[in-house]
Structure 1
Amino acid sequence: MDAGAISLILFGAMLALLASGLWVAPALLTVGFIALEFFSPAPAGSLLATTVWDASWNWALTALPLFVWMGEILFRTRLSSDMFNGLAPWLSRLPGGLFHVNIVGCGVMAAVAGSSAVTCATVGRMSIPELKKRGYDEGLSIGTLAGSGTLGLLIPPSIMLIVYGVIAQQSISRMFIAGVLPGIVIIAIFMTYVMIRTTIDPSLAPKETERTTLRQKLWASRLLIPVMLLIFVVIGSIYGGFATPTEAATVGVIGALVLAWWSKSLTWASFMEALMGAVRTSCMIAFILAGAAFLSIAMGFTGVPRVLAGYVDALDLSPTMLLVVLTILYIFLGCFLDGVSMMVLTAAVVLPMVKDAGIDLVWFGIFTVIVVEMAQITPPVGFNLFVLQGMTGRDILQVTKASIPFFFLMLLGIVVITAVPELALWPVQWMVAAR
């Protein structure tokens, strides 16, 4: 049987398993076992054991549960109210007013949480009732949170960048460095959109009449000092070469516990909730990565990736057209799979093609994460949509409608970083040269 027919059989088996409701990780392991057992002379049992073991003790993965735990701890503090009160005096006079607090607040939270859902929920639980009370348009409020909440996947310390770094065998520190400027660019795109839209339709955002002096703004900013200090220590230690991502994550967890204690929100119950939430999330991701590693080995033995890459080569696609095709593929997969599953499921086939096309793998990681961000606000499996549905009480169609403009704004972000790849690569090159 040729590799083309094998790939169709395996793809059909994967779809059937996922459609049956089986978890992603067991589905990956099952398809890998089928590939080795029926389409390869390789010993499936021993390869399963060795591959899963090797994938489970990858040192780069040690940072992941720590960053997840840091976000879980901060989610249970009063960080959301402090960020709102600290940012509001500075941003309320811009066209769009307090909508910008949603965007910038999510950017700040992304720098300590690493998770899209945690970022969205932390900022939203304070801003949604506050903006509604002040007469801001609910649809645009939901949209800014849905779009900006996805920044948790891009701005370091991003869980998704850690996962990509492990899959693509790229430095986690370099991935973190590469994610900063693209994240800032997307924040700027969101803020520009809000300013333009509220200028065209002033009824969306009431004009803020309360004026604050510089002294009052500076006094309100004291609320941001603890979290900004935590960001500086965690991210700065990585960028400065003083700590590995794992060491920085350890410092981050200690800092998050101190912040929780200082805000009087650290109890034994909240500590255990944060710990168990981190364990569940980390185990899920590690299990998926182990399944993906086994599937990648199995696919290699069947020769499927080589044949599929040959099909793509025969199309003679330029690097730009290859990226367009991959964007469409990821958007389609994002309608049915979460970000981690989508990334690991395609890695065995996509990464060799991207490398052969001469595309830098660090840059491609940023590109992939932005596309995965878009999947967070596409139904029916957009996690941010479910978070906001639960927080607002609105149906999923209303939440999706409010999020659609930000989906296209992130598409614009992809166009920008594709046109100017230095946004992701220049900071990495500069940091490496500085060291």
Structure 2
Amino acid sequence: MEPMTLSIVLAISILLMLAVGVWVSLALVGVAALGLMLSGNEQVGLLFGTSSWGASTAWSLTALPMFIWMGEVLFRTRLSSDLFAGLSPWLGGLPGKLLHVNVLSCGIFAAVSGSSAATAATIGRMTLPELKAQGYSDRMAVGTLAGSGTLGLLIPPSIILIVYGVAAEVSIGRLFIAGALPGLLLVTLFMGYTMVWALMNKDELPKHSKEQVSLKAKIAALRKLLPIMGLIGFVLGSIYGGFTTPTEAAALGVFGALVLAAMTGSLSMESFKGSLLGAVKSSCMIGLILVGAHFLTLAMGFLGIPRALTEWIGTLGLSPLELLIYLTVLFVVLGCFLDGISVVVLTVAVMLPMVQQAGIDLLWFGIYIVLVVEMSQITPPVGFNLFVIQALTGKNILYVARAALPFFLMILLAIVLIYWFPEIVTYLPTTMTQR
């Protein structure tokens, strides 16, 4: 069977498996095994064992469960709620007022969580009831949370950047550094849109604000931010400064989160066990997906599918911009049905030869693909952040999707900006490497 024909058969097979509810990891393994058998390869078991060992023993993957655990500790202790209390007094003077707490809280929590879902769930539990009680627009409160919750995918330490780094063999440390400025760009775009919306829709803001907060009270509120900001500076500073690898920084981050939780009196045996079990469940899920994706990548290599696809793309004569437009549409469509990590591990092996042939920097492409996956997280019907926020609010998922639409467009604008100005991605990694 020709590689292109085989690739179509496998694509239809995996869509059917996912449609009937087969786990993503098992669907990947099943499609890989099917492809090998159709090609006449009888060493399916041996190849699966070899690929599984290779996928699960990469040292760089050690950072993954540690960063997940750090986020789980923060999720279950008082440190996350201190974010709201520390930021609120400082944002009352901006157009949009406390709506900016959603954006900044998500940005800060993303820097110690690494998970989009954990970011949206944690911040939403704190901010949505307060915003509703004060009379803010429901749609804007939900929209700012849905959009800003995706920052957990980009702002380092990002779980999906670790997965991409392993799959594409790109330095995870450099990817973390590269994600910093695009993350700040998104925060700026989200806050900018919120200000413009607030100036144009003053009737949807609270009619009477709370009394003015004194400077002394604002400075006192900052003390609640110091523990979590110190943890962020400690973890990211050790990576950016070259003192630790991402794996070592992750281990130190877990230790720091446990110490801070204990110092604030919110670390109990129950919260400790809950954080540990939550980290194990998430890590096992991601690990199974990675094993399945690695096996599929190996199978496709045997079948010659990546080479055939690359040659086919080459015959189309696409420019780098045209290729990125097609890939953007593809990733958003895939994100309508799969979670972000699954999208990355399913596509990276096939896409990288095309991307390299087009002369696109793999470091830049890693940030690009995370931004596109962020868009897919707030795209129905299976945008994962939409489900998280629907569970928090009880709103219809289409209502949540409509509320998130402006932030979907802001992420699209960020993609356009990093294409026009790639230095937004490459400046920090290049500068720090030269030191």
Under TM normalisation by the shorter chain, which class is it?
Answer: over 0.9
1:67-109 deviation line (CA, Å, top 9, x unaligned): 0000001001123331111111211100110111100110000
Indicate conservation of the 8 Å contact 1:42/1:301, yes or no.
Answer: no
When structure 1 is superposed on structure 2, of 370-379 and 151-160 the one drifting more is 370-379
Give distance in 1, aligned partners of 2:144 and 2:190: 8
In 1, Cα distance between equivalents of 2:309 and 2:391: 41
> What is the distance in 2 between the residues matched to 1:222 and 1:299?
54
**Equivalent residue, structure 1, for 2:361:** 360
TM-score (norm 1): 0.98
Q: For residues 4 and 67 of structure 1, what CA distance do their matches in structure 2 show?
A: 39
Residue 403 of structure 2 aligns with which residue?
Answer: 402
Look up the equivalent residue of 1:317 and give its one-letter code: L
* Larger displacement relative to structure 2 (205-214 or 150-159): 205-214
Q: Which residue in the other structure is 1:327 paired with?
A: 328
Task: Show the counterpart of 1:286.
Answer: 287
Residue in structure 2 matched with residue 99 of structure 1 by the alignment: 99
Shift of 1:215: 2.6
Aligned residue type for 1:421: P
Q: Which moved more, 1:424-433 or 1:381-390?
A: 381-390
Greater mean deviation of Cα atoms: 145-154 or 341-350:
341-350
Matched residue, 1:35: 35
> What is the identity, as a one-letter code, of the residue corresponding to 2:105?
G
Q: Which residue of 2 aligns with 1:69?
A: 69
Deviation at 1:211, TM superposition (A): 2.0
| Counterpart Cα distance in 1 of 2:65 and 2:362 | 24
Counterpart in 2 of 1:429? 430
CA contact (8 A) 2:167 2:349 kept: no
**For 1:131-170, what per-residue CA distance to the aligned partner results, in whole angstroms no more than 9, with x for missing partners?**
1111110110000000000000000011010000000011
Residue 318 of structure 1 aligns with which residue? 319
Which moved further from structure 2: 201-210 or 118-127?
Answer: 201-210
Q: Cα offset for 1:214? A: 2.8
Instruction: Give me the whole-angstrom Cα distance separating, in 1, the residues matched to 2:93 and 2:42.
Output: 66
Query: Aligned residue for 1:12?
Result: 12
Q: Distance in 1 between matches of 2:384 and 2:120?
A: 10
Q: Secondary structure at the match of 2:32?
A: helix
Aligned to 1:239: 240
Equivalent position of 1:85 in the other structure: 85
Contact kept? 1:80, 1:125, Cα under 8 Å: no
Offset, 1:217: 1.5
In 2, Cα distance between equivalents of 1:243 and 1:32: 37
Aligned partner of 1:226 in structure 2 is 227
Aligned equivalents of 1:259, 1:375: Cα separation in 2: 34
Listed as ranges, the matches of 1:97-136 within 5 Å are 97-136=97-136
Tell me how far apart the structure 2 counterparts of residues 393 and 273 of structure 1 sit (CA, whole Å).
Answer: 25
**Does structure 1 conserve the Cα–Cα contact (< 8 Å) formed by 2:77 and 2:271?**
no
In 1: Cα distance, 2:210 partner to 2:8 partner: 62
| 173-182 or 343-352, which deviates more | 343-352
1:161 is matched with which residue? 161
Q: CA deviation at 1:288?
A: 0.8
Which SS does the other structure have where 2:62 is aligned? Answer: helix
TM-superposed CA distance for 1:41, in Å, is 3.9
- CA–CA separation in structure 1 for the residues paired with 2:8 and 2:413: 33
One-letter code aligned to 2:392: M
Identity %: 55
C-alpha displacement of 1:32 = 0.9
Instruction: Provide, for residues 166-199 of structure 1, a one-character-per-residue CA deviation record: whole Å limited to 9, x for no partner.
Output: 0001111001000000000011000110100110
Q: Distance in 1 between matches of 2:35 and 2:203?
A: 59
- Aligned-partner Cα distance in 2 for 1:179–1:86: 25
Residue identity matched to 1:430? T
Q: Are the aligned partners of 1:93 and 1:208 in contact in 2 as well (CA < 8 Å)?
A: no
CA distance in 1, matches of 2:182, 2:23: 32
Report the AA paired with residue 289 of structure 1: L
Residue 401 of structure 1: how far off its partner (Å):
1.4
1:42 Cα shift? 6.6
Deviations 1:303-357 (A, max 9, x none): 1111111121111111011111000000000110000111111112111111111
Q: Which amino acid aligns with 2:88?
A: A
CA deviation string 1:264-310 (max 9, x = no partner) = 22111111111111011111111111111111111011111111111
- Contact 1:97–1:208, Cα closer than 8 Å, also in 2: no
- 1:14 CA displacement: 0.9
Query: Counterpart of 1:16 in structure 2: which amino acid?
Result: L
Determine the C-alpha separation between the residues in 1 that align with 2:286 and 2:317. 35
How far 1:204 sits from its partner (Å)?
2.4
Separation (CA, whole Å) in 2 of partners of 1:61 and 1:82: 31
Instruction: Verify the 8 A CA contact 1:132 1:138 in the aligned structure 2.
Output: yes
Q: For residues 56 and 171 of structure 1, what CA distance do their matches in structure 2 show?
A: 18
| Correspondence for 1:202 | 202
SS in 2 for 1:372: helix
Helix, strand or coil at the partner of 2:189: helix
Q: How many residues align?
A: 434
Residue number in structure 1 paired with 2:174: 174
Check conservation: 2:74, 2:80, Cα contact below 8 A.
no
The CA deviation at 1:209 is: 5.2
Whether 1:22 aligns to 2:46 is no
Unaligned runs of 5+ in 2: none
Tell me the distance in 2 between the aligned counterparts of 1:142 and 1:41.
51
Residues 114 and 155, structure 2, Cα contact 8 Å, conserved in 1: yes
How much has 1:216 moved relative to structure 2?
Answer: 2.3
* Aligned residue in 1 for 2:419: 418
Bigger Cα displacement from structure 2, 214-223 vs 320-329:
214-223
Q: Higher mean Cα deviation, 372-381 or 143-152?
A: 372-381
Q: Structure 2: how far apart are the matches of 1:320 and 1:253? A: 41
Matched AA of 1:89: P
1:71 is aligned with what amino acid?
G
The superposition leaves residues 212-255 of structure 1 with CA deviations (integer Å, 9 ceiling, x where unpaired) of 33332211101000000000000000000100111111111011
TM-score normalised to structure 2 length? 0.98
> What amino acid is the match of 2:403?
A
Residue 344 of structure 1 corresponds to which residue in structure 2? Answer: 345
- Offset from partner CA, 1:10-69 (integer Å, 9 cap, x none): 111111111121111111111111111221547222111111111110000000000000
Deviation at 1:426, TM superposition (A): 0.5
Q: Which amino acid aligns with 2:92?
A: S
Is the Cα contact below 8 Å between 1:102 and 1:148 reproduced in 2? yes
1: distance between equivalents of 2:203 and 2:14? 49
